[in-house]
């Protein structure tokens, strides 16, 4: 690895950091979104960036809608249209014509008896029990130890200020690497051209 | 590939859409029975930005307000007034009606309240909380002329909006079931009242400010991505 390769890797790393921060910023309004973290490490091939998920819970926002659900300390489960079961932290469900609770991506909420079927007047308690006028309809399937908040949506855990700082930092890191690369290039140009001139 | 540029652009588009929806809510804040909408977003791909999942309509009850109109009715609870025009059906919670020359009760766009016709010799009209419509006739006589029935949908949030407080049935919303008002848990009608739009001006203003700031932040992301691309393009200065 010479200086030019190292600087090229550094520019690449800065670009990835910007990709991550830009996408995080774009998702500041996506309910339940978990921000990605870009971690740069120095390897023998120069700077390399790995991304990870920031699993911290986002703030809960009160919406007052019964079927806006946020799992606290775990997750609830939905079945996507292809039949796969997905763990989810928070989603806005609404009744479909069959009485199933479906979120905006068309995924149905799972209970202990299969799909949760509810009525427009139903309530959901912290243990996930769905009741209509006292009658238990179903219980939402939750991961062990989790509880559920009805009437709340978990907001994105993106901190816009922090992401803005990361955008600026990535941009400056890119510029620094580029300047260094240009300086190395200039030195080498001198080596090549001036040494040749002395000889002739 | 300049991912950051496109990811930041999706964020700008999302905030733009939020502004459109909030502006529409504000524009309809004085329409009785109007239900506010909210745009929702979700992440796409691996750091590719965000996309609109859809626009939700939120059917929370609006405040009932005394209006003084001679044929104003508000729904306290779930359900819609069933309307007809030229053989088509529509549903609304805007109970602001006027009496047309043929005795039917119509809203401002000419949609007719199904099932009610007020005779020409009526001196006053009253609607009970269970929807029964009665009229006063000359000489102190009363007569019941019909009952306003409400349409209930299994999934009202999936109705299609066809006007500022007007909805059309869809397959996803389910077929409307007709119910009488006034049951123990059912909806009730309030005569001489209107349901205000469920739009909070303060919340809408806050949403506008937040969307503006988020838009600016994403615009900065676009700028940074563009600036990096410019620097990269100038690497080879010759």
**ipTM of the modeled complex:** 0.82
Among chain B residues, CA nearest to A101:
B155
Q: What sign does the dihedral A63-A65-A69-A73 (CA atoms) show? A: positive
Size of interface A-B (CB pairs under 8 A): 139
Report the alpha-carbon distance of residue B153 to residue B159 in Å, rounded.
Answer: 9
Burial class (CB in 10 A: 0-12, 13-18, 19+), B202: exposed
Could you read off the pLDDT tens digit of each residue along chain A, which spans 200 residues?
788 899 999 999 999 999 999 999 999 999 889 999 999 999 988 899 999 999 899 999 988 888 999 999 889 999 999 999 999 999 999 888 888 999 988 899 999 989 999 988 899 999 999 998 889 999 999 999 999 999 999 999 999 999 999 999 999 999 999 999 999 999 998 888 887 676 55
Minimal Cα–Cα distance from B194 to chain A, Å?
A: 22
Q: Which residues contact B214 (CB under 8 A, 6 or more apart)?
A: A25, A28, A29, A160, B11, B15
Return the closest-CA partner of residue B137 out of B152, B155, B119: B119
Residues of B in contact with A158 (CB under 8 A): none
Residue A92 CA: distances (Å) to CA of A43, A89, A200, B54, B128: 43, 11, 78, 11, 36
Among chain A residues, CA nearest to B9:
A26
Give the nearest partner residue to B42 out of A14, A19, A30, using CB atoms: A30
Return the closest-CA partner of residue A107 out of A90, A86, A138, A130: A86
pTM of the model: 0.85
Report the alpha-carbon distance of residue A195 to residue A25 in Å, rounded.
Answer: 50
Residues of A in contact with B174 (CB under 8 A): 96-97
Return the closest-CA partner of residue B196 out of B22, B107, B72: B72
Report the alpha-carbon distance of residue B193 to residue B191 in Å, rounded.
Answer: 5
What does the pLDDT look like over B43-68, one tens digit per residue?
998 889 999 998 989 888 999 999 98
Contact criterion met (CB < 8 Å) for B155 and A94 = yes
């Amino acid at each position: 690895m010479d200086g030019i390769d190292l600087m090229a890797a550094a520019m690449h790393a800065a670009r990835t950091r910007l990709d991550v921060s830009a996408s995080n910023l774009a998702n500041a309004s996506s309910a339940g979104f978990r921000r990605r973290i870009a971690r740069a490490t120095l390897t023998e091939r120069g700077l390399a960036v790995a991304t990870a998920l920031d699993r911290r819970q986002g703030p809960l926002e009160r919406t007052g809608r019964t079927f806006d659900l946020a799992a606290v300390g775990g997750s609830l489960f939905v079945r996507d249209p292809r039949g796969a079961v997905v763990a989810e932290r928070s989603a806005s469900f609404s009744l479909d014509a069959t009485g199933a609770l479906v979120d905006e991506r068309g995924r149905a909420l799972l209970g202990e008896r299969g799909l949760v079927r509810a009525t427009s007047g139903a309530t959901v308690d912290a243990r996930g029990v769905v009741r209509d006028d006292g009658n238990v309809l179903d219980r939402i399937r939750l991961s062990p130890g989790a509880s559920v908040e009805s009437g709340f949506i978990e907001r994105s855990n993106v901190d816009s200020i922090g992401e803005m700082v990361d955008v600026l930092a990535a941009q400056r890191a890119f510029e620094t690497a580029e300047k260094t690369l240009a300086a190395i290039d200039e030195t080498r140009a001198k080596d090549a051209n001036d040494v040749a001139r002395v000889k002739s | 590939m300049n991912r950051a540029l496109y990811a930041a652009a999706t964020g700008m588009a999302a905030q733009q859409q939020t502004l459109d929806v909030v502006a529409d809510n504000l524009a309809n804040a004085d329409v009785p029975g109007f239900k506010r909408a909210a745009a929702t977003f979700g992440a796409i791909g691996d750091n590719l930005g965000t996309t609109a999942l859809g626009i939700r309509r939120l059917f929370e009850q609006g405040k009932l307000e005394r209006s003084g109109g001679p044929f104003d009715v508000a729904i306290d609870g779930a359900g819609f007034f069933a309307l007809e025009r030229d053989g088509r059906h529509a549903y609304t919670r805007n109970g602001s009606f006027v009496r047309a020359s043929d005795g039917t009760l119509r809203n401002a766009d000419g949609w007719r309240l199904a099932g009610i016709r007020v005779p020409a010799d009526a001196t006053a009209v009253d609607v009970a909380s269970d929807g029964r419509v009665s009229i006063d006739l000359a000489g102190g006589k009363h007569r019941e002329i019909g009952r306003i029935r409400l349409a209930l949908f299994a999934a009202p949030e999936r109705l299609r909006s066809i006007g500022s407080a007007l909805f059309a049935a869809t397959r996803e919303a389910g077929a409307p079931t007709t119910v009488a008002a006034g049951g123990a848990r059912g909806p009730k009608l309030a005569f001489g009242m209107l349901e205000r739009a469920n739009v909070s001006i303060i919340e809408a203003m806050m949403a506008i400010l937040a969307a503006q700031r988020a838009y600016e932040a994403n615009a900065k992301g676009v700028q940074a991505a563009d600036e990096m691309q410019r620097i990269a393009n100038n690497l080879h200065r010759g």
